[in-house]
């Protein structure tokens, strides 16, 4: 392996040459304390930057085993090291010429602690340093140019002085703040542990006492500092857990079933739901929501008019559309508020469970008809409250829901007969969803009391404080009967599994390379198709989107064969990633992936406008 001095000389020799000559430096270099790996060199100073890695061996990084000895801790530590490298790079790197010259940057990140491909722990295999870890860190470099020619001296400084300095400051444990690092991994481990406790305690979410839920602004996800009212559980919903690291913690447990969040406008309803919705992820210490956790299969459901829908069976909610349009296999290029919301629910249910284990349900007399339609039902009833299952929990906010999908009141039932209204409102299905499918719902609804009848728990937000008003709401429901007719039928209905047509997912369109590009967290280019994910609110990191795009290409190459259902395909992709890591999604070491959930991968595929499925 070439050493640092050789690289340095080489860079000085390249001074003033055309930018393309940088290509020569691709390769591995021995920097004595670590290995520098140049995987890819950019074509010009304005192109996407060059891809670098450093590998710091265990005897140099000296990371103690205790900060990465569980899966939770390891993921948290990788996130922590990414942030430390970023901090160190910021304080050292500077602009050094045209375009991206001088840039040293690791992947972007926000409040969430996600599994990222920016950093990996290298465990030692020699026994004397058994519980020490090393690090592989992946980052981007803008190789310096003046105009379009190489600035060799600056490049030599960057690569041979700055990078070693950054590595030393951020990837050697002795130079890190050990207490802070510990707090990072312990916080994440506790949050993961809390999330695991939910199901067996009959809960779908937990909001810790003292949590700071509001954010600084609509564009800044850090905690609101001034005037934030800390969360306090209402006594009757208070639960306590004894976390592995921080010990006793108390807070509000939201039980499985149907939960209504009510309260006046601007009293904090949506803020609470948003915190729960992102409680499928872990957060950094100091976020304020570190110990707000939700069932890992919690899915935000909203109206999303304008989206495309590809052959989804929305018939549990929508029937008899004008012009006789089929709702058992519903296609549209331009969904309405209600049809999009119905599709969003069914799509979540479609990929919502982990394994298709048929025949696990107990056959009951007289349920023959229900059976073939609903192996989902039979199965989820059995596993709904067990560990590791992925039966969705639906989260709905009135702010982003279609009113006509949510409610249909007594008077409207009188005026517009059921057979003239294609929509069976959510209020008439929400109980069946829970009874038949084990699907709980948390619903923010300040504008209609009709849901009092179907709710199991009613939480009111009043001046940013939560109260349990279940009994009062039930009392009101009894005293002010709305006597509306239930329109939901006997059962929820069937969840139809779709089989994608391979040709409808063709990102390359005859070209060899698939162009995959992301813009922030909202848009993904998949070949020639643009996928709008602006309404998929649980995608929080552009690294997730990059990984989702790569996973779509992977799914297409490996598993979309015209026989497998969408949920089987997603099962297989997720299982591969779990077994082999996110690196299977790219040809060479990618530092910009962040882990996503099956629901968001499905969401991207489902919004591909070219998608179609077998009839
Ligand atoms: P709602 O959905 O009930 O209308 P929001 O959740 O949108 O209300 O909150 C209204 C405003 O109050 C937002 O600007 C939000 O950031 C702020 N807010 C929410 N919760 C708190 C809190 N606990 N402390 C201080 N401000 C809060
Ligand atoms: Mg609101």
Residue range 565-589, pLDDT digits in tens: 999 999 999 999 999 999 999 988 9
- State the burial class of residue 364 (Cβ atoms within 10 Å of its Cβ: 0-12, 13-18, 19+): exposed
> What residue spans of 37-120 are helical by DSSP H?
58-61, 71-92
| Containing structural domain, residue 405 | 299-479
In a shared domain, residues 279 and 335? no
pLDDT reported for residue 295:
97
Ligand 1 in reach of 266 Cβ (< 6 A): yes
Ligand 1 in reach of 270 Cβ (< 6 A): yes
Which residue among 208, 212, 214, 446 is best mutated to probe the pocket of ligand 1, counting the most ligand atoms within 8 A of its Cβ?
214
Atom 9, ligand 1: which residue's CA is nearest?
A: 268
Instruction: Please give the helix or strand (H or E) that residue 415 lies within, else none.
Output: helix 410-415
pLDDT reported for residue 74:
97
Ligand 1 in reach of 101 Cβ (< 6 A): no
In a shared domain, residues 432 and 373? yes
What would the two tokens of residue 396 be? Answer: 């709905």
- Answer whether residue 182 is part of any domain: no
Judged against a pLDDT cut of 60, whether residue 145 lies above it is answered with: yes
Judged against a pLDDT cut of 50, whether residue 151 lies above it is answered with: yes
pLDDT reported for residue 482:
87
pLDDT reported for residue 127:
55
Confidence band for 126, pLDDT divided at 50, 70 and 90: low
Ligand 1 in reach of 271 Cβ (< 6 A): yes
pLDDT reported for residue 355:
42
In a shared domain, residues 283 and 304? no
Measured distance CA(26)–CA(28) in Å, rounded: 7
Let me know: does 452 contact 511? Beta carbons within 8 Å.
no
Which residue among 252, 268, 270, 277 is best mutated to probe the pocket of ligand 1, counting the most ligand atoms within 8 A of its Cβ?
268
Ligand 1 in reach of 1 Cβ (< 6 A): no
pLDDT reported for residue 372:
34
| pLDDT, tens only, 443-459 | 999 999 999 999 999 99
| pLDDT, tens only, 270-287 | 999 999 999 999 999 999
Confidence band for 360, pLDDT divided at 50, 70 and 90: very low
In a shared domain, residues 156 and 211? no
Measured distance CA(11)–CA(308) in Å, rounded: 51
| pLDDT, tens only, 254-264 | 999 999 999 99
CA–centroid distance, 215 to ligand 1, in Å, is 9
Confidence band for 370, pLDDT divided at 50, 70 and 90: very low
Please state the atom number of ligand 1 nearest to the C-alpha of residue 231. Answer: 23
Measured distance CA(606)–CA(8) in Å, rounded: 50
What is the separation of C-alpha 336 from the centre of its chain, rounded to a whole number of angstroms?
25
Judged against a pLDDT cut of 80, whether residue 133 lies above it is answered with: yes
Query: What integer best gives the mean pLDDT of the chain?
Result: 91
Judged against a pLDDT cut of 90, whether residue 527 lies above it is answered with: no
Beta bridge partners of 454: none
Judged against a pLDDT cut of 60, whether residue 316 lies above it is answered with: yes
- State the burial class of residue 236 (Cβ atoms within 10 Å of its Cβ: 0-12, 13-18, 19+): exposed
Ligand 1 in reach of 251 Cβ (< 6 A): no
Judged against a pLDDT cut of 60, whether residue 28 lies above it is answered with: yes
Domain end point (choices 154, 176, 198): 176
Ligand 1 in reach of 213 Cβ (< 6 A): yes
In a shared domain, residues 286 and 305? no
pLDDT reported for residue 509:
64
CA–centroid distance, 474 to ligand 1, in Å, is 26
Instruction: Please give the helix or strand (H or E) that residue 121 lies within, else none.
Output: strand 119-123
Closest ligand to C-alpha of residue 215 is: 1
Judged against a pLDDT cut of 50, whether residue 386 lies above it is answered with: no
- Answer whether residue 432 is part of any domain: yes
CA–centroid distance, 357 to ligand 1, in Å, is 43
Phi-psi region of 3 (alpha: psi -120 to 50; beta: other; left: phi over 0): beta
What would the two tokens of residue 83 be? Answer: 């942030």
- Other CB atoms within a 10 A radius of the CB of residue 69 amount to 15
In a shared domain, residues 212 and 244? yes
Judged against a pLDDT cut of 50, whether residue 379 lies above it is answered with: no
Judged against a pLDDT cut of 70, whether residue 513 lies above it is answered with: no
For the chain, the domain total comes to: 4
In a shared domain, residues 94 and 195? no
Let me know: does 229 contact 463? Beta carbons within 8 Å.
yes
The predicted model scores a pTM of 0.93
- Answer whether residue 382 is part of any domain: yes
307-314 mean pLDDT: 98
- Answer whether residue 494 is part of any domain: no
- Answer whether residue 334 is part of any domain: yes
Q: Between the CA of residue 195 and those of 247, 400, 475, 584, what are the distances in Å? A: 15, 26, 33, 28
Measured distance CA(523)–CA(603) in Å, rounded: 12
In a shared domain, residues 199 and 136? no
* Better pLDDT: 64 or 516: 64
Atom 16, ligand 1: which residue's CA is nearest?
A: 214
Let me know: does 352 contact 296? Beta carbons within 8 Å.
no
Measured distance CA(252)–CA(239) in Å, rounded: 6
**Predicted ipTM > 0.95:** yes
Ligand 1 in reach of 265 Cβ (< 6 A): yes
Closest ligand to C-alpha of residue 268 is: 1
CA–centroid distance, 53 to ligand 1, in Å, is 43
CA–centroid distance, 271 to ligand 1, in Å, is 6
Judged against a pLDDT cut of 60, whether residue 18 lies above it is answered with: yes
- Answer whether residue 310 is part of any domain: yes
Let me know: does 282 contact 294? Beta carbons within 8 Å.
no
In a shared domain, residues 127 and 148? yes
pLDDT reported for residue 519:
77
292-304 mean pLDDT: 98
- Answer whether residue 611 is part of any domain: no
| pLDDT, tens only, 99-114 | 889 999 999 999 999 9
| pLDDT, tens only, 184-215 | 999 999 999 999 999 999 999 999 999 999 99
In a shared domain, residues 159 and 248? no
Closest residue by Cα to residue 305 from 414, 202, 419, 403: 403
| pLDDT, tens only, 389-398 | 789 999 999 9
What would the two tokens of residue 94 be? Answer: 């500077």
Q: Per-residue DSSP letters for 284-351?
A: -TTSS-TTEEE-TTEEEE---TT--EEEE--TTTB---GGG--STTEEESS--HHHHHHHHHHHHHHT
In a shared domain, residues 395 and 275? no
- Answer whether residue 491 is part of any domain: no
Strand 112-113 relative to strand 282-283, pairing: antiparallel
What would the two tokens of residue 492 be? Answer: 């929820």
Q: HSE on the CB side for 152, CA within 13 Å?
A: 16
Q: Between the CA of residue 223 and those of 213, 287, 356, 427, what are the distances in Å? A: 7, 6, 41, 34
In a shared domain, residues 281 and 304? no
* Better pLDDT: 208 or 378: 208
């Amino acid at each position: 392996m070439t050493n640092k001095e050789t690289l340095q000389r080489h860079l000085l020799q390249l001074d003033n040459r055309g930018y393309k000559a940088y290509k020569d430096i691709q390769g591995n270099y021995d920097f004595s304390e670590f290995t520098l790996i140049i995987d890819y060199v950019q074509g010009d100073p304005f192109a996407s930057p060059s891809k670098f890695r450093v590998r710091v061996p265990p005897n140099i990084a000296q990371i103690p085993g205790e900060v990465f000895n569980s899966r939770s801790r390891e993921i948290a530590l990788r996130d922590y090291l990414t942030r430390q490298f970023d901090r160190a790079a910021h304080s050292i790197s500077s602009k050094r010429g045209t375009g991206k010259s001088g840039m040293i940057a690791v992947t972007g990140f926000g409040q969430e602690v996600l599994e990222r491909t920016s950093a990996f722990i290298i465990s030692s295999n020699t026994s004397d340093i058994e519980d020490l870890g090393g690090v592989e860190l992946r980052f981007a470099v803008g190789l310096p140019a003046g105009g379009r020619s190489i600035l060799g001296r600056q490049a030599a400084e960057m690569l041979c002085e700055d990078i070693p300095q950054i590595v030393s400051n951020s990837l050697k444990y002795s130079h890190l703040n050990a207490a802070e690092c510990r707090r990072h991994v312990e916080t994440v481990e506790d949050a993961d542990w809390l999330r695991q406790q939910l199901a067996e305690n009959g809960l779908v979410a937990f909001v810790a006492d003292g949590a700071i839920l509001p954010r600084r602004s609509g564009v800044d996800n850090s905690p609101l500092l001034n005037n934030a009212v800390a969360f306090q559980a209402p006594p009757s919903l208070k639960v306590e857990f004894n976390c592995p690291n921080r010990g006793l913690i108390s807070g509000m447990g939201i039980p499985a079933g149907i939960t209504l969040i009510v309260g006046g406008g601007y009293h904090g309803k949506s803020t609470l739901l948003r915190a729960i919705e992102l409680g499928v992820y872990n957060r950094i210490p100091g976020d304020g929501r570190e110990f707000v956790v939700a069932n890992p299969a919690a899915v935000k459901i909203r109206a999303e008019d304008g989206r495309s829908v590809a052959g989804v069976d929305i018939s549990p909610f929508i029937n008899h559309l004008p012009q006789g349009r089929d709702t058992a296999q519903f296609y549209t290029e331009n969904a309405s508020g209600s049809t999009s919301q119905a599709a969003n629910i069914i799509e979540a249910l479609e990929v919502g469970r982990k394994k298709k284990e048929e025949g696990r349900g107990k056959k009951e007399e007289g349920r023959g008809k229900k059976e073939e339609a609903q192996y989902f039902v039979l199965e989820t009833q059995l596993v709904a409250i067990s560990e590791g299952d992925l039966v969705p929990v639906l989260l709905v906010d009135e702010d982003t829901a279609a009113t006509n999908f949510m409610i249909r009141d007594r008077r409207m039932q009188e005026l517009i007969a059921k057979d003239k209204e294609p929509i069976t409102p959510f209020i008439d299905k929400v109980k069946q969803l829970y009874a038949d499918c084990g699907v709980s719902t948390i619903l923010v609804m300040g504008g209609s009391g009709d849901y009092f009848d179907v709710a199991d728990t009613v939480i009111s937000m009043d001046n940013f404080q939560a109260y349990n008003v279940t009994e009062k709401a039930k009392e009101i429901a009894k005293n002010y009967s709305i006597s509306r007719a239930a329109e939901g039928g006997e059962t929820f209905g069937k969840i139809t599994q779709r089989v994608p047509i391979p040709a409808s997912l063709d990102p390359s369109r005859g070209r060899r390379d698939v162009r995959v590009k992301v813009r922030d967290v909202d848009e993904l280019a998949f070949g020639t198709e643009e996928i709008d994910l602006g309404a998929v609110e649980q995608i929080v990191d552009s690294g997730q989107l990059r990984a989702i795009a790569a996973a779509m290409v992977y799914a297409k190459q490996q598993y979309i064969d015209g026989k497998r259902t969408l949920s089987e395909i997603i099962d297989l992709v997720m299982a591969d990633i779990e077994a082999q890591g996110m690196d299977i999604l790219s040809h060479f070491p990618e530092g910009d992936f962040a882990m996503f959930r099956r629901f968001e991968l499905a969401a991207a595929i489902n919004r591909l406008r070219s998608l179609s499925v077998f009839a």
